[in-house]
Amino acid sequence: SQFTAAPIGLPPKLPNFVVASDASKNDTAINDNLPSTQLGFVKVSHVLVAMDKYAELIDPKSRFVDPFKAAELHRNAQPITYVLPGSNIKYRGAPNVKDGFRHAVFEQFTANKRDSGSRMVLTETLIALNNYLLRIESCPSCRVDTKSLEFTPSNLINVCPSCTTNIYATDWLRLHEGISDFGDNTSAITRMMNAVEHLLLAAFILELLNNSPTALSKIAFVIDGPLALFGEPAKLHKRLMALIYEANTKLASLRLDPVLIMGLQKTGNVMDHARLLERFLPYGVIKVIDDEYRNKFITGSDAPSANFGNETYYGQDFLFKTERGRIFNFALPYPFPDKGVNGGPFASQKAELHRYGTLIERACALIRHFELDLYDNAIVPVALAHRHASISLVPGGKVLDLITRAGLNK
């Protein structure tokens, strides 16, 4: 067996807060008589679990949840929704569906999504991830070269010198490329959902890194799904990888723990493989899914790439079977600023466990703590507690406000 004993810290090193994200989308016809004319809805919830509040929800004698404490926490629930024009809709008088969609994406990303006085604008996050200077290779409308145009925090819109169409900073994500005038635009909405979820993670990291690095080191971020972006906005994964490395470098210089960011997958080919192996594995073991193992036992690729996920992934997959017998596929960010040329040597380096420091141990501790809740089939009282203790909040707003009030940044 290539599985090894999973690290256990005594006592387990748990964060003070867990911020988990989940996103969903829906494509809806504007009228039953016009099924091809659709709007797209993207809903993103960031869930804050304060570990001390979570522990208080359950009476250790009865194992029942205190409904008053649960209700007190639940009153802060506020999800965030993005509404986008889909097929057969020309937004705000745009000449075509694609240009209208570009305009709508820009408006949604440029709106301040925070309740409090401070700002959280995803367009600004996107510019920050590009070192505050973003360029777009060609005009989305006429395809003329536009690399000379600069997008900065104070200049988010440029005009194409050839066709005079507005070019938005958000066009860098290329979300509009999946849009057609009359076809199904489901994939574009899915890419939008994926990009928003990861941009919000970046916004959290940037805000806390600049204002409260101590708080950042005491929070765990959990994303439902892989640490990867697919399709048109996939290049964003490189910016996230560089940001996380920069954040952990700064935290290390301050003698603080690296930030724990974890992708958790409940489905997919790695989990299918894990379920086949599950009954043969001892409890409390872990395995890094290196490329050789993935290509040989999971994907069965005849001509594998030099580095799996070279254009999409910014996190390494692990399989972990807990001491209670449940198996999880989790991912941790690659501990590198980039993948180098073609990702060749990187493919072996990313699977070297020592490069992840304490993060593997901390990720295992977090899964052990919540495993009954993370597992879909859990019906024990602690699963109910987790659902009530998890509060949907306006991303970047109340989450950070609550963290600040809790005194983590002191």
Decide: 136 and 151 in contact? Cβ < 8 Å: yes
**pLDDT, tens digit (0-9, with 9 covering 90-100), for 163-194:** 999 999 999 999 999 887 777 778 888 899 99
Domain boundaries defined on the chain: 4-85+186-405, 89-181
**pLDDT, tens digit (0-9, with 9 covering 90-100), for 45-95:** 777 777 887 777 666 666 566 777 666 555 544 567 788 888 888 888 888
Q: What is the pLDDT of residue 403?
A: 53
Q: From CA 19, how far away is CA 359, in angstroms rounded?
A: 16
- Is residue 246 pLDDT above 50, yes or no? yes
- Is residue 303 pLDDT above 60, yes or no? yes
**pLDDT, tens digit (0-9, with 9 covering 90-100), for 251-268:** 999 999 999 999 988 889
- Is residue 238 pLDDT above 90, yes or no? yes
Contacts of 388 (CB under 8 A, 6+ apart): 57, 65, 70, 73, 74
Q: From CA 71, how far away is CA 350, in angstroms rounded?
A: 43
Nearest to 323 by CA among 283, 366, 368: 283
389 confidence band (pLDDT: 50, 70, 90)? very low
**pLDDT, tens digit (0-9, with 9 covering 90-100), for 286-299:** 999 999 899 888 88
User: Which tokens hold the place of 100?
Assistant: 């209208």
Whole-angstrom distance between the N-terminal and C-terminal Cα of the chain?
Answer: 46
Q: Which residue has the higher pLDDT, 74 or 143?
A: 143
Cis peptide before 381 (omega within 30 of 0): no
Of 73-82, 115-124, 217-226, 380-389, the least confident: 380-389
Decide: 125 and 104 in contact? Cβ < 8 Å: no
Q: Which residue has the higher pLDDT, 214 or 86?
A: 214
* Percent of residues in the chain assigned helix, strand, coil, to nearest 5: 40, 20, 40
Q: From CA 288, how far away is CA 316, in angstroms rounded?
A: 8
Q: What is the pLDDT of residue 72?
A: 59
Distances 369 to 18, 73, 267, 330 between C-alpha atoms, Å = 12, 20, 21, 15
Helical (H) or strand (E) element with 18: strand 17-31
Q: From CA 85, how far away is CA 241, in angstroms rounded?
A: 31
In the chain, the percentage of residues whose pLDDT exceeds 90 is 51
Highest mean pLDDT (candidates 25-39, 108-122, 290-304, 317-331): 317-331
Q: Provide the pairing of β-strand 315-321 with 285-288.
A: antiparallel
